[in-house]
Amino acid sequence: MPRNKMIVSIDGPAGSGKSTIARIIAERTGLTYIDTGAMYRALTWKALKNGIDPLEEPTLSDMAFKSNLELSEDKVLIDGIDVTDDIRTLQVTRNVSAVSSLGGVREAMVATQRKMALAAGKGAVIEGRDIGTVVFPDATIKIYLDASVEERARRRQIDLKTAGVDLEIQALESEMRKRDEYDSTRNNSPLKKPADSFVLDTTDKTIQEVVDEVASLIKSKERV
Ligand code: DC
């Protein structure tokens, strides 16, 4: 990795606060924000739109290599189509674990993610499940965010309510447990705490507290 680029990796399960924190940190530091979950979601959206089974490996891998993914100014585009809102539907959320478990799909996405981060002027804050372990094992600083499943389901319930969807907390907790299990036991790049990461439990913390902790970790690295 070029010495003049800073790569901050943020990994963790759904609802641990990765997107919120990564976005604020990127804004504060001038680093480019890369949401890798949004990329897997965009591919899932495209598969569903084209009636492709989310577990059909060869077709999906081929699609992943041929798709043009762009993340810019808070927008997510696939082949030039703005899917920023469409990738947050329940249908996409329910199918994205399957799509992101495929080896060929991950291979294509990891290559694109590395390219995006290395093209970013100053560097990037890049969030996902395998960033510190697979995409950038030599990241400048690795953060792993966690929170209890109850708190993560509560956060998801608030997000969904804002989008006009009312779901019982029990249903959300059980979906969250299922997705955690799937994402952390799959063969290809399962969700894992990178050995050399700073682990922050966000369950009882405010966004500001977590941002301050991450910012001071980054500062301490910059001084080295
Ligand atoms: O962070 P998210 O909920 O938007 O991620 C959507 C899904 O994509 C999640 O179920 C796991 C998967 N994912 C992944 O496998 N690897 C990543 N680097 C990012 C997300």
Please write the tens of the pLDDT for every residue from 91-141. Answer: 999 899 999 999 999 999 999 999 999 999 899 999 999 999 999 999 999
Residues within a 6 A CB radius of ligand 1? 14, 36-37, 40-41, 96-97, 100, 128-130, 179, 183
Residues 180, 129: contact at Cβ < 8 Å? no
Ligand 1 atom having least distance to the Cα of 179: 10
Q: Tokens 């997705």 correspond to what residue?
A: 179
If one residue of 91, 129, 176 were mutated to test the ligand 1 pocket, choosing by the most ligand atoms within 8 A of its CB, it would be 129
Sorted by where each starts, the structural domains of the chain and their CATH numbers stand as 6-204 (3.40.50.300)
Q: What is the pTM of this model?
A: 0.94
* pLDDT averaged over every residue in the chain: 93
Centre of ligand 1 from the C-alpha of residue 224, in Å: 32
Q: What torsion, rounded to 10 degrees, do the Cα atoms 156, 160, 166, 169 define?
A: 0
Centre of ligand 1 from the C-alpha of residue 40, in Å: 6
Percent of the chain with pLDDT over 70: 98
- Residue 124 CA from chain centroid, whole number: 13
Residues 40, 92: contact at Cβ < 8 Å? no
Instruction: Answer yes or no: is pLDDT of 145 > 60.
Output: yes
Ligand 1 atom having least distance to the Cα of 100: 15
